[in-house]
Structures are given as C-alpha cells and as structure tokens.
Amino acid sequence: MNIKGHIAVEGPIGVGKTTLAELLARKLDARLILENPESNPFLPDFYKNRERFAFQTQIFFLMSRYAQQQHFAHDDLFSQCTVSDYIFAKDALFARINLSDDELILYEKVASVLEKNVAIPDMVIYLTASVDTLLQRIKKRQRSFEKGIDKSYLEDLCEIYSDFFFSYNDRPLLVVKTDNVDFSADGEKLSYIIEKIAGKKEGTEYISFDSVLTDN
C-alpha cells in the first residue's frame, strides 16, 4: 500500500503507541521515529519526587525531542512515509500537569520558540484506554523507572490528552479505543487501521471496533 507523509501515534503512558508505530512502520515499509524516554537521566527521580524534578525532566524531553525532529527534518525525512510514536505538542501537555506556574511560564517561552521550527504530522492516530488498562500494561512491561506512576497521575494525563484532542483539527485524526485490542496479535484489526490511514483525508474518526463514528 503506497502511503506517504508523516503518521504520528499518540496517547497516554502505557496505551501502546510504540507497539503500533513499530507495526505500522513494518507494514508500510516506513522510516520509524521513536522517542527514547530511558535516555532522560532525570526520569527515575521524577517518578520518585515529581515536584522536585519536574522542570529538569521536562526541559530535557523538550530539547531532546526538538533535536530529534530537527535531525530528521534536515534529512528530508518527511518527504517519504514516516511513522513516529509521538507528536512534538505532547511535551506541552506533560508540562501543564507537572510544572508549577512559574516553571510553566519559563517552559512556554522556550517551547514557543522551538515549535515554530517543527513540522506538524500529516495524520495523527490518538490511542485511548481506561486508566485501569494503562496501569495493567505499565505493570506488565516492567520498566523500572515507571514503578512510581500512580493512578491519579494517569487520570490527570488522560484528561489533558482528551481535552487536547477533543478540539484538535490541525490534521486528519483517528481516535482508537484500545482497551480490548492487541495489534501485535490481531492482524485483521491492524489491517483495518491501515485502511483507515490510507483513506483518511480530513476530519476526525472514532474507532472502537464495535462501531465507527465520523465527524467531518
């Protein structure tokens, strides 16, 4: 299937962004861009003491994501099919729930300068799941630095993601409920998502595999 452009997969921690991005890249013979949270040296301390280490953690993520985007842009990557497991705008979502008011003001001054030089994906796939599902998946993958993630933090994260994508209209958007889906084990559902990517030209579409609603 000849699909071009930049497809970004987004959603809260544990929802399955990287898994779906990897599967799509393999099926579409696309270049894969993955963020690497393990490279952030402040992250383990952040989950132990979010208030103390939030700003360092957030600024590191902001600059590393920006550097990654610039590296690929200079390689003219987005002229071919590309799949990523994040959008640059996600960083600001985390900042809003993690930073104090004063920290957020400084963060937004830096971010507003950087975001002008970052391309918007051609399509976004927003994955959703219940908080209980996210907690189960986080526990199952057993990343040591994620042991400090609690339910209230995930609830805040899901809420801010929901608010952001409720009014998102920059590019075509697929909203996919994933509580009962394992794309790595269900090739039929993965193929369905690929068909939707190929045919999606505008608007927002909600997919639960029980019903499909379209809002153009």
CATH number of the domain encompassing residue 50: 3.40.50.300
Domain membership of residue 1 (yes or no) is no
Give me the domain span that covers residue 111: 6-215
Q: State mean pLDDT over 12-34.
A: 94
150 is catalytic: no
- Residues 25, 28: Cα–Cα separation, whole Å: 5
Residue 177 is predicted with a pLDDT of 95
Report yes or no on 26 lying in a domain. yes
Question: Is the pLDDT score of 78 beyond 80?
Answer: no
Q: What is the pTM of this model?
A: 0.91
Tokens matching residue 96: 């809003």
**pLDDT tens track for 106-123:** 999 999 999 998 988 999
pLDDT at residue 74 in the model: 62
> Is there a domain that residue 48 lies in?
yes
Mean pLDDT of the region 199-209: 88
50 in any annotated domain: yes
Q: Is residue 28 part of a domain?
A: yes
The reply to whether 115 falls in a domain is yes
Instruction: Exactly one of 29, 45, 85, 210 is catalytic; name it.
Output: 85
pLDDT at 213: 45
Considering its fold, how many domains does the chain have in total? 1
- At residue 55, the pLDDT reads 97
Q: Tell whether 13 is covered by a domain.
A: yes
Beta strands in the chain (DSSP E): 6-10, 31-33, 82-84, 123-128, 173-177, 204-207, 212-215
Structural domain contains residue 117: yes
Rg value, the chain, Cα? 17
Write down the pLDDT at residue 154. Answer: 95
pLDDT of 212 strictly over 90: no
What residues are paired with 204 via a beta bridge? Answer: 173, 215
